[in-house]
Amino acid sequence: MNINKEQIDDLNVVVSVGISKDDYESKVSEVLRDYRRKANMPGFRPGKVPEGLVRKMYGKAVLVDEINKLVSKSLQDYIEEQELQVLGEPMPEVSSDDLEWEIGNDFTFGFEMGLAPAIDVKLSKKDRITKYQVAVDQELISRDIENYASRYGQFVDTDAVVDFKERLTGDIVQLGDDGNPLQDGLSAEDSLLVVSLIKDEEHRKPFENARAGDEIVFNLSETFSNDWEIASILKKKISEEVSDISASLFRFTVKSIQKFVNAELNQELFDKVFGGGTVTGIEEFENHIKEEIATDFEESSMSKFGSDAREYLLEKLNPQLPEEFLRKWLLATNKEVSKETFEKEFPMFLKNMKWELIANAIVKQNELKVDEQEIIDMAKATVRRQFTMYGMSNIPDETLTSYAMNSLKDEKSIRGMASQVLEKKIAKTVNEAVDVNIQELSPDDFNKMIYASDNEGTKEAGEGDGDKETRQAK
């Protein structure tokens, strides 16, 4: 076997693998003998099929298979021995269909390869990147306090509808043209009607100052705009058949009225939000909230810094790629993609590949690693954010761990979390190496900037919603 490398330029090579009959003949003969031993053909006893017939029937297929195995292993071994940083996959110069597959022939296979450029990421205080920092003011703290008070609030009994934030419990019945209950009409007992869901001020008027015992007549379909709201009041499933009620009046007999009251700022609320005994007064409560807000914004700030550092390094280093090779390779391996789609997405592919090479260089030069516990911690942080989105805070650590481990049950999820951990480490490494220009922004301005940045990134990638997360000012 003979392997040669032809250097086309710094980023392109052709590797030729020469195979002589001595390299494959004994293996092909061994496989064919095994075929003959196992062959079961009419007119011949098992194991007695003539060798020439077996060779004629299976020789070419066995030859192709064995040579492909031999070439594949030889090429991979050569790439590893020569430490070639190959992008994509080696591309055969000649189709196998064009070769004369005969036992005894010698074969030469040429493979085009695109190579990764050498990248040395040298960072110093001469490199200047802006990091946006959010000032946590009292207004933002008050917003979060109000949010917690509302989240842990509850409905309490009240005498009358005052501000249309109440909910009513009562009996509802469909009326006929004579104003009496319609025979076989729709009705429900102990129905729940949320006044704030009424679609406009005009339709709220019949409920103004309503008290227990009042009878309110109104058009149900005109008062509530959503099918699920109407179905809920009538105690029906949306999927159930409901006749046309657009012209019907309904009578609602009020049994009780409740209004929503925020939780009081007391020890009970402090314990629900941060755990028993963690906070013992309003001042500590505000301080914990301030720290929580600052932590959330710092995470978003570092995520934005990481994105900006990526753009900065892409522009500064701009590593060159074997673009023609990559184009050929992608077209060969994605034949189902239209030319229009390919041309639209190819520039983003090149940009992502350049960043991957830069990121890998940073990881290697700084010996960055990700361990198992860091992956679990990242998964727990993701689960915690998901719980928070649904108004659930102070989740026990064992619950977070359980959910996190469940989310890491497949290799793809593990790689995704590891990638997030590594991204954070890369951003931190760059942050420590360069001159960071701190620029303070208000929460609203910061969120607007992130929103605009995400939208721009979405347009470039041609994808759906961006995957970045930021704390929205409440």
Cα–Cα distance between 33 and 50 in angstroms, integer?
A: 10
Distance CA 7, CA 5 (A): 6
Is residue 468 domain-resident? Answer: no
Q: How far apart are CA 421 and CA 171, in angstroms?
A: 56
Residues 160 and 231 in one domain: yes
Q: Which of 126-135, 381-390, 395-404, 451-460 has the lowest mean pLDDT?
A: 451-460
Encoded tokens for 331: 């077209």
Mean pLDDT of 457-464: 54
Average pLDDT on 71-78 reads 94
CA distance 229 to 221: 10
Q: Looking at the predicted structure, is the pLDDT value of residue 40 above 70? A: yes
pTM for the full model? 0.74
CATH classification at residue 220: 3.10.50.40
Segment 58-70 mean pLDDT: 91
Same domain, 362 and 300: yes
Q: What is the pLDDT of residues 207-247, one digit of tens each?
A: 999 999 999 999 999 999 888 899 999 998 876 666 678 88
What is the C-alpha to C-alpha distance for residues 356 and 350, in angstroms, rounded to an integer?
10
Radius of gyration of the chain (CA): 35
Same domain, 455 and 369: yes
pLDDT of the residue at 470: 43
CB 441 within 8 A of CB 305: no
Please check whether residues 77 and 165 belong to one and the same domain: no
Q: Determine which of 175-184, 295-304, 388-397, 454-463 has the lowest per-residue pLDDT on average.
A: 454-463
More confident residue, 95 or 249: 249
Query: Domain for residue 469, yes or no?
Result: no
Query: Of residues 60 and 459, which shows the higher confidence score?
Result: 60
Asked whether residue 204 falls in the same domain as residue 57, the answer is no
Which residues lie across from 87 on neighbouring strands? 114
| pLDDT of amino acid 474 | 37
Q: Residues 324, 431: one domain? A: yes
Is position 122 within any domain? Answer: no
Domain containing residue 374: 128-143+271-461
CATH of the domain at 11: 3.30.70.1050
Last residue of a domain, one of 229, 261, 293: 261
pLDDT attached to residue 465: 40
How far apart CA 190 and CA 198 sit, in angstroms, is 19
Residue 101 reports pLDDT greater than 50: yes
Beta bridge partners of residue 282, listed in sequence order: none
> Mean per-residue pLDDT for 345-368?
96
**pLDDT tens readout for residues 152-174:** 999 999 999 999 989 999 999 99
Same domain, 85 and 169: no
- The pLDDT value recorded for residue 314 is 97
- Please report, for the domain that includes residue 333, its CATH number: 1.10.3120
Tell me: do 297 and 405 sit in the same domain: yes
237 and 322 housed in the same domain: no
Q: How far apart are CA 273 and CA 292, in angstroms?
A: 11
The answer to whether residue 147 scores a pLDDT higher than 50 is yes
pLDDT tier at 195, thresholds 50, 70, 90: very high
Does residue 467 lie in a domain region? no
How far is Cα 387 from Cα 368, in angstroms, rounded to an integer? 30
Alpha carbon separation from 162 to 165, 210, 245 (Å, rounded): 8, 8, 29
- Measured at the CA of 21, the angle between CA 16 and CA 22, to 5 degrees, comes to 100
- Count of CB atoms situated within 10 Å of the CB of 241: 5
- pLDDT, position 467: 40
466 within a domain of the structure (yes/no): no
Residue position matching structure tokens 């095994």: 34
**Residue of 257, 362, 269, 348 whose CA lies nearest to 316:** 362
User: 472 in a domain, yes or no?
Assistant: no
The reply to whether 404 and 449 lie within a common domain is yes
pLDDT in tens, 304-318: 999 999 999 999 999
| Of the residues 261, 292, 325, the one at which a domain ends | 261
CA distances from 401 to 272, 373, 376, 397, 409 (A): 20, 11, 8, 6, 13
Supply the mean pLDDT for the chain. 90
Task: Report the pLDDT value the prediction gives residue 469, as an integer from 0 to 100.
Answer: 42
Looking at residue 263, the DSSP 8-state letter turns out to be P
State which of 261, 287, 317 marks the end of a domain.
Answer: 261
Asked if residue 300 is part of any domain, the answer here is yes
The number of folded domains in the chain is: 3
Q: Write down the pLDDT at residue 241.
A: 63
Q: Which two tokens stand for residue 418?
A: 């590891």
Domain-embedded: residue 121: no
Same domain for 136 and 179? no
Contact 215, 253 (CB under 8 A): yes
Q: Are 302 and 471 in contact (CB under 8 A)?
A: no
37 or 177, which is more confident: 177
The CA-based diameter of the chain, rounded to the nearest angstrom, is: 103
Rounded CA-CA distance 458/302 in Å is: 19
91 plus 160 within the same structural domain: no
Query: What integer is the mean pLDDT of 112-121?
Result: 95
